[in-house]
């Protein structure tokens, strides 16, 4: 069962629609207990990282999510759901985040239009099941003003050029997180969700 | 490299897609859900819906239309037209819209831009600007119009563009009222002036007639995206045809 975390993110419905389109059912919850019991978790997001973090804390979801990921269970973070995994963000002053991935979230450099909005290519840096059947340099839909910078560069599985190379996909075992919105990236985006569901199924079969 | 976006626009009235000329003379152009799915399959980068229904019953229709479209169309959806406040905006976002576009409401109450950007994030607040060229002016100047182009707001389009971005707009949807529906090209001068004045993406709208028009709006007009209605609705050109053309001419495009 795919569990989508509901902390008030506006794009929740799009993620549910994407999973339904693939023929699977998703459970939407803000209950920390259901996160603990989940087979796989999706953390969607748009807006500001600090608000998201505040909501996760208020709902008692921060620690269950930390534990879920620490146990190596299948997790997919999208956009802000990627950014809140980091140590902290510069957005709206310094705000601490979940601290699951060491590194910071920084403002995109001036010079180009902000937000970085539209379709851009993702260069695959490392092989990972999340990329199964996804062509290298495929276009995905982005909308963000801040980008993640992990201390450990080997976690960068996908990179995208916007003035500077930005990290657009993070992978660490069963942890996957994307800066772009797969639910808004057409058929290739749906492929990402499909691959994540397959990862989750494989994990359950192997008893992890 | 970030690609330029090609955006079909669906003006929806009482649950049907319509298209007019300079904001009047409406013609029926089909079912919104069918058209949206068709454009999605054809490679549209995004879709914009403008609700031009005046009645509250019509408002419920567009919410339902957005909900049905978001179930089968997996690209960004912007909804605008008649959104008056935070509650109207929230309703559209919950129905499946990714961005909301405000025009008259922003002019009447500029504070709404900041309030909505704080609430939903700048990325989902599009301010639509309907601009009309001021005749007999020494320098090129444009004035902002509200109420679907029926009333001058008495403000300069460039000043307004700068102001709405300062207030938190994440994107501008710029329509030239002079060019709209005439299929004789975008107002390049207007598009370029606004695009250079602001730090957020600008969608050029009004006047698309040929693929060359879209090319000019992107290159000379420096727009980040181009919106068109008639040429797509009446199948004058297909989206893929236009995308192939632009890609051949060196524009970064998602094929």
Chain B residues with beta carbon closer than 8 angstroms to that of A116: 2
| Alpha helices for B10-146 (secondary structure H) | 32-42, 56-70, 86-95, 104-108, 111-120
Bridge partners of residue B8, in order along the sequence: B228
Residue B205 CA to residue B98 CA, distance in Å, equals 19
Which of A120, A145, A186 is nearest residue B74 as measured by Cβ atoms? Answer: A186
Q: pLDDT by residue (tens digit) across A172-204?
A: 999 999 999 999 999 999 999 999 999 999 987
B254 found inside a domain: no
Examine residue B117 and say whether the peptide bond preceding it is cis (omega within 30 degrees of 0). Answer: no
Q: pLDDT by residue (tens digit) across A123-169?
A: 999 999 999 999 999 999 999 999 999 999 999 999 999 999 999 99
B120 found inside a domain: yes
The pLDDT assigned to A119 comes to 98
Which domain CATH number covers B104? 3.20.20.70
Nearest CA in chain A to B100: A10
Q: pLDDT by residue (tens digit) across B183-201?
A: 899 999 999 999 999 999 9
| B130 is an active site residue | yes
Question: What is the token pair recorded at B12?
Answer: 């929806």
B144 found inside a domain: yes
Residue B195 CA to residue B158 CA, distance in Å, equals 10
B199 found inside a domain: yes
In this complex, is the C-beta atom of A55 within 8 Å of any C-beta atom belonging to chain B? Answer: no
Query: Where does residue B136 rank: exposed (0-12), middle (13-18), buried (19+ CB within 10 A)?
Result: exposed
Residue A150 CA to residue A89 CA, distance in Å, equals 12
DSSP class of A92: T
- The structural domains of chain A, ordered by start, are 2-205 (3.40.50.880)
Query: A184: closest CA among B32, B244, B97, B94?
Result: B97
Q: What is the mean pLDDT of chain B?
A: 92
B148: pLDDT strictly greater than 70 = yes
B253 found inside a domain: no
Angle between helices B239-248 and B32-42 (to 10 degrees): 30
B60: pLDDT strictly greater than 90 = no
Q: Per the structure, how many domains does chain B have?
A: 1
pTM of the model: 0.94
Query: B46: closest CA among B121, B109, B98, B83?
Result: B98
Task: Give the SS3 label for residue B229.
Answer: coil
Q: What is the span of the domain harbouring residue B151?
A: 5-248
Query: B175: closest CA among B4, B3, B7?
Result: B7
Instruction: Kindly name the residue from B45, B51, B130, B224 that is annotated as catalytic.
Output: B130
Chain B residues with beta carbon closer than 8 angstroms to that of A18: 74
B255 found inside a domain: no
Average pLDDT over residues B126-155: 94
CA B204-A123-A15 angle, to 5 degrees, is 65
Phi, psi of A142 (to 5 degrees): -110, 145
Task: Name residues whose C-beta falls within 8 Å of residue A139's C-beta, 6 or more positions apart in sequence.
Answer: A119, A120, A121, A122, A185, A188, B3, B254
């Amino acid at each position: 069962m795919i569990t989508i975390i509901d902390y008030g993110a506006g794009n929740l419905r799009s993620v549910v629609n994407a999973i339904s389109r693939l023929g699977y059912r998703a459970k939407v919850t803000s209950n920390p207990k259901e996160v603990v019991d989940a087979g796989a978790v999706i953390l969607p997001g748009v807006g500001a990282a600090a608000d998201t973090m505040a909501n996760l804390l208020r709902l008692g979801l921060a620690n269950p999510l930390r534990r879920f990921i620490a146990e190596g269970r299948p997790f997919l973070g999208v956009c802000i759901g990627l950014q809140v995994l980091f140590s902290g963000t510069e957005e709206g002053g310094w705000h601490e985040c979940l601290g699951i991935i060491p590194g910071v979230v920084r403002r995109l450099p001036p010079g180009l239009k902000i937000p970085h909005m539209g379709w851009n290519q993702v260069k695959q840096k490392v092989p990972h099941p999340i990329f199964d059947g996804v062509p290298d340099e495929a276009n995905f839909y982005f909308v963000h003003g801040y980008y993640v910078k992990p201390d450990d560069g080997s976690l960068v599985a996908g990179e995208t050029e916007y003035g500077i190379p930005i990290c657009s996909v993070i992978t660490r075992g069963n942890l996957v997180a994307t800066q772009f919105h797969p639910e808004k990236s057409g058929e290739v985006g749906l492929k990402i969700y499909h691959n994540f569901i397959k990862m989750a199924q494989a994990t359950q079969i192997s008893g992890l | 490299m970030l690609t330029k976006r090609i955006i079909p626009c669906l003006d929806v009235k009482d649950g049907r897609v319509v298209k007019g000329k300079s904001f009047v003379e409406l013609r029926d152009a089909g079912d919104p859900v069918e058209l949206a799915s068709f454009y999605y399959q054809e490679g549209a980068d995004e879709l914009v819906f403008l609700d031009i229904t005046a009645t509250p019953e019509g408002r419920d229709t567009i919410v339902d239309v957005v909900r049905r479209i978001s179930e089968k169309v997996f690209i960004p959806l912007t909804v605008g037209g008649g959104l008056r406040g935070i509650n109207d905006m929230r309703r559209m976002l919950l129905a499946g819209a990714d961005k909301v576009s405000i025009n008259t409401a922003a002019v009447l109450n500029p504070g709404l831009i900041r309030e909505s950007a704080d609430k939903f994030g700048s990325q989902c607040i599009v301010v639509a600007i309907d601009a009309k060229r001021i005749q007999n002016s020494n320098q090129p100047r444009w004035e902002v119009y509200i109420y679907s182009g029926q009333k001058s707001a008495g403000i300069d389009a460039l000043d307004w563009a700068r102001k709405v971005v300062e207030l938190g707009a994440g994107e501008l949807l710029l329509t030239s009222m002079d060019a709209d529906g005439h299929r004789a090209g975008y107002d390049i001068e207007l598009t370029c002036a606004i695009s250079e004045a602001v730090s957020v993406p600008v969608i050029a709208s009004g006047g698309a007639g040929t693929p060359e028009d879209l090319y000019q709006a992107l290159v000379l007009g420096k727009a980040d995206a181009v919106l068109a209605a008639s040429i797509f609705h009446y199948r004058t050109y297909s989206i893929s045809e236009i995308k192939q053309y632009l890609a051949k001419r060196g524009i970064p495009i998602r094929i």
